[in-house]
Amino acid sequence: MPLIFHDTVTEVLRERPDLAIAVLRDRLGVDVPDGLSIQAAPIDLVDRPSRDLHPDMVITVGPRQDPVLAINVEVENGPMARKRPMLPRYAAALWLRLDCPVIVLVICPDSKTATEASRPIATSLADYTLTPYVLGPAQIPVITDMAEVQANPLLAILSVAIHGRNRAVLEAFAAAALNEADGNAAYYYEYAYRMSPLDIRHMLEDIMATTWPVYTPYAKKHYGKGLEDGRAEGHRRGLAEGHSKGLAEGRSKGLAEGRSKGLAEGEAKAVLTVLEARGIAVPEELRARIMGCTDLPQLEEWIRRAATVTTAHELFTEEPGPRP
């Protein structure tokens, strides 16, 4: 889990470096210049005597070639004894290279690590003592409001990983993910899922079980894959059959009929695939009923129900009335 947490946080910040600025301003009270460009910068630094330094991430504020602020982000989830002496070196090397103020931000999910990281780090240079800014469990809020999730996805992801045993946190995060307009909902959900302990993962899956699209690995492997594969196979077969029929009866009419039949067959296969992936037995008479259905809205309803039912017979309970 430590490596997953480290890699996930750095991945999020490479995609959205502005989220680190939001954390510094809103949670740690740092006065960061506003209205300037924000970008991830190269992390290769050199120390003297010549040694390569590899901070986790560097973010600059202002013009790329002439920034007004540099931020060294470190993600830690364990003892800091070996890493602490490196933090002043990272900051000094950044200051020498960029000639601008430098701050160090340490993100950690563990309270003990956060306490250790927040202690000032003395150096052999007179008057040079580095005090990192630390985002730990005490600074990560319990976010239960969808608007707050959307305002700062990084904090929301961390809130799920740290405070996700509070179901309200997961419900707010799931609601925000499903209403996300920028196309990143799948990524945010996946990040939170990867970083969370196993019990929180199970709670996330429970909350998303009745919703499509679902973004957990289980759902993508079973539910999503069944839906996609079933539709694709039905579509291909429908086009092939339509093409053959069209040669005899008229290409246009044949393709249309074949495609319609193929789509229905694909949806029906998706229903069966979801049920089978969830280990639910499907009696032959019900299998025939599903495969014989050509009502696309009805098939889509069965697909949704297949994600939550406990027996195949439950697919057909409380069915909607005849369609106009």
Domain end point (choices 86, 114, 135): 135
Judge if 9 and 33 occupy the same domain: yes
Q: Is residue 141 part of a domain?
A: no
State whether 300 and 279 are in the same domain.
Answer: yes
Classify residue 120 by burial, with Cβ atoms within 10 Å: 0-12, 13-18, 19+: exposed
Structural domains in the chain (count): 3
The pLDDT tens digits for 164-223 are: 999 999 988 888 877 765 556 667 777 888 888 888 888 887 777 655 454 444 445 444
Say yes or no: 57 and 129 in one domain.
Answer: yes
CA dist list (Å): 60 to 10, 103, 297: 15, 10, 51
Question: Is 202 strand, coil or helix?
Answer: helix
Tell me the two tokens of residue 318.
């409380």
Q: Kindly state whether residue 154 falls inside one of the protein's structural domains.
A: yes
The model's pLDDT over 27-62, given as tens digits with 9 standing for 90+, comes to 888 989 888 899 888 776 655 554 567 888 999 999
* Contact by Cβ (8 Å): 95, 45: no
Residue at 322 is within a domain = no
Using the 3D structure, point to which of 208, 241, 256 is the last residue of a domain.
Answer: 208
Identify which of 91, 100, 121 has the alpha carbon closest to the alpha carbon of residue 32.
100
Q: What is the pLDDT of residues 91-118, one digit of tens each?
A: 999 999 899 999 999 998 889 999 999 9
Amino acid 321: pLDDT: 41
**Quick check: 98 and 60 in contact, CB under 8 A?**
yes
Residue 140 lies in a domain: no
